[in-house]
Structure 1
Amino acid sequence: MSLTARILLSMVAAVVLGKITHEVLALPDLNETIRFILDDVLSAGLFTLIGKIFIASLKVLVVPLVFVSLVCGVCHLSDQSSLGWMSLRTIGLYLVTTSIAISLALAAATLVGPGVGANMESEAVYSAPEAVPFLDVLANIFPSNPFQAMVEGNMLQVIVFAMLVGLAIGRAGVEGERVGKHFSDWNEVIMKMVGMLMQLAPYGVFSLLFTLLASKGLGPVEELIAYMLTLIGVLLVHGLVVYPLILKLLTRLPVKIFFRKMWSVQLFAFSTASSSATLPVTIHNAEERLGVGTKVASFALPLGATINMDGTAIMQGVATAFIAQAFGIDLTLGDYLLVIATATIASIGTAGVPGVGLITLAMVLQQVGLPVEGIALIIGVDRLLDMIRTAVNVTGDAMVSVVVADAEGALDRNRYLSDKVQEKHG
């Protein structure tokens, strides 16, 4: 059985068994021994432990993988001046897709009106953390201590430092060639580690989903069904219509092959709800199966996991309109334009970790004068929706990496079109 099929099977099993376990634990007359085994031993014990180990194993590879692969990509560039154009293409595409995402979300939410008639009162409580000023976000891109950046997992700073090291190696002559070969060897070793970890993915995915559903069930889905359906609908349109159109228009490559080869990565992202944790798998998949060159994959994908949050931007757009409708507050055209600009800028400083979209949503709401307490209305279903939008995020990252690689002449089209590399490590 292929790796993708095993991951999908584990997800289905986790959903079914997790939901059954949640229903059983909700029984008032349940035997205490059975409750202890299901809740303390399995859900909160064994499977929680496996899930945490799996996530930690993914995250431990993120910084070394990004640093080593980006150094390799930059130091082996035949024309280092092309790095500037590649950076501009990548960032420009990310900002364009994010702007499209938030615009679609606001348009759909305004048309559907998921919060109309809700008549919510400001009784909900949500304490919004203080937003980092945008100028500070830009200044913090450049590291003062690269080792501290690596320890803290500050990906933008790691990317900048890796690019500087790669540029220096590429210009250091014979000594640089020797160092570059060492980095190439390390890159092969780390990619092998990613391949090894992917074999354990079905167990990690099962543990994460089972623990979530056994403890929380499906949450207050019935009360927010209109909001959820609107948000999921926009996510699907963006992921299945906007991305394929951009890919087809800019590369002329078959879209079906892209989605077939991205399926296992999307399942990874769905189960972890973290772009950063999925990053090693995304890079591995882009290089081994989509044919994206190392110099592009090692730059575009870590950058995308940090600043390209299309799924989060969609959530912010739908949630903003929903909260405004629920509290009976009318937004002007200027307010909507401000939401688009704020959400796009906020995505640059958004870390790829679960639930961070709620932090930036607070900043967006404050910009247009909406009650931040409204976040408490949607927080009950956000974990499930976070999983879906993370899958959209990583799909967008991979799509941009393919487009940029094609423009840079760093795309192996034969590998992209071939099925022979499919499940190469799985």
Structure 2
Amino acid sequence: MKKLPLYLKIIFGLALGILWAFLSTQFGWNKFTLDWIDPFGMIFIKCLKFIAVPLVIFSIISGIAGMKDINSLGRIGAKTIFAYLITTILAVGVGIFLVNFIKPGEMLDEEKRIENRIQYELWVSDQNGSVQIADDKRFLDDPKYSSYIKEKTKSSRINNNDKITSGLTSKKDNGPLQFIIDIVPDNMFAALSSNKLMLQIIFISVFFGMALLFIEETKAQPVIQFVIGANEVFLKM
């Protein structure tokens, strides 16, 4: 019997997941799902995470080290950057479209929406005119919210606003090329230990692969063979 292609298995799994979510909501199976099914999903996600970094590292190094013409590296790099920019633009465009179409904030309960709006206006008022509210709504000036403002935000205003202001101030002080500086890690092992620093991991991999092209072939070959073998192992995993 012919095996199902991977994409059909993925679609089949998604369909089963949606069906199970609907049935568990209707028949009260949520506790059973959390106790006996969710752990397997968490294990699967963890497996994907722990192979992500080595898979990226070994695949990039083996790809670069396997090139015979060093001059082609520049062309490949330019194409990679172009593809990265295009996919980033598409991702941002899809995100903006979905946010405006679905409007997820409207799904929040009214009390939470009011609280978030008041926190936003309180933060704007603390910026001494450097930030302007984007619409005509003014909850702080509305008498019907005066008691709510005093009750809900008196204790949390300082903490929340200080965190937001400090974060924005640090970003404001950064130069236009800060993102390039952030790509280069100051500690290779710290970068390799976090899935969130993927650009730094890619930089390390590209740098390592390029270095292999510039050393003697007799010294590079054992390393290249190890990298190729490790890449095959993680692909199989």
TM-score range, shorter chain: 0.5 to 0.7
CA shift for structure 1 position 76? 1.8
Structure 1: gaps (5+ residues):
26-37, 194-426
Aligned length: 174
Which of 58, 67, 77 is the equivalent residue of 1:68? Answer: 58
Secondary structure class of the residue paired with 1:123 = helix
- Contact in 2 for aligned 1:67/1:162 (Cα 8 Å): yes
Partner residue, 1:125 = 116
1:150 aligns with 2:192: yes
1:170 aligns with 2:213: yes
Partner residue, 1:19 = 22
Name the structure, 1 or 2, with higher relative contact order (CA <8 Å, separation 6+).
2
Counterpart residue identity of residue 230, structure 2? W
Secondary structure class of the residue paired with 2:21 = helix
Deviations 1:284-334, CA, capped at 9 Å, x for gaps:
xxxxxxxxxxxxxxxxxxxxxxxxxxxxxxxxxxxxxxxxxxxxxxxxxxx
Q: In structure 1, how many angstroms separate the alpha carbons of the residues matched to 2:48 and 2:185?
A: 24
Closer, same or farther: CA 148–39 of 1 in aligned 2, 3 Å: same
1:94 aligns with 2:84: yes
Partner residue, 2:47 = 57
Q: In structure 1, how many angstroms separate the alpha carbons of the residues matched to 2:205 and 2:234?
A: 16
How large is the Cα RMSD of the aligned pairs?
A: 3.2
Partner residue, 1:189 = 233
Partner residue, 1:141 = 183
Q: In structure 2, how many angstroms separate the alpha carbons of the residues matched to 1:176 and 1:113?
A: 53
Counterpart residue identity of residue 71, structure 2? S
Closer, same or farther: CA 57–101 of 1 in aligned 2, 3 Å: closer
Q: In structure 2, how many angstroms separate the alpha carbons of the residues matched to 1:188 and 1:113?
A: 42
Closer, same or farther: CA 51–160 of 1 in aligned 2, 3 Å: same
Counterparts in 2 of 1:334-353, with a 5 A limit?
none
CA shift for structure 1 position 84? 2.4
Counterparts in 2 of 1:265-284, with a 5 A limit?
none
CA shift for structure 1 position 67? 0.8
* TM-score between the two structures when normalised by the length of structure 1: 0.36
Identity level (%): 25
CA shift for structure 1 position 124? 4.5
Q: In structure 2, how many angstroms separate the alpha carbons of the residues matched to 1:9 and 1:113?
A: 27
- Contact in 2 for aligned 1:170/1:177 (Cα 8 Å): no
CA shift for structure 1 position 138? 2.4
CA shift for structure 1 position 104? 7.7
Q: In structure 2, how many angstroms separate the alpha carbons of the residues matched to 1:113 and 1:57?
A: 34
Secondary structure class of the residue paired with 1:166 = helix
- Contact in 2 for aligned 1:143/1:157 (Cα 8 Å): yes
Counterpart residue identity of residue 27, structure 2? V
CA shift for structure 1 position 10? 2.6
Secondary structure class of the residue paired with 2:73 = helix
Counterpart residue identity of residue 48, structure 2? L
CA shift for structure 1 position 60? 0.7
CA shift for structure 1 position 61? 0.6
CA shift for structure 1 position 100? 5.7
Deviations 1:87-122, CA, capped at 9 Å, x for gaps:
22222233245446656887x79xx9887xx9x996
Structure 2: gaps (5+ residues):
118-159
Counterpart residue identity of residue 78, structure 2? L
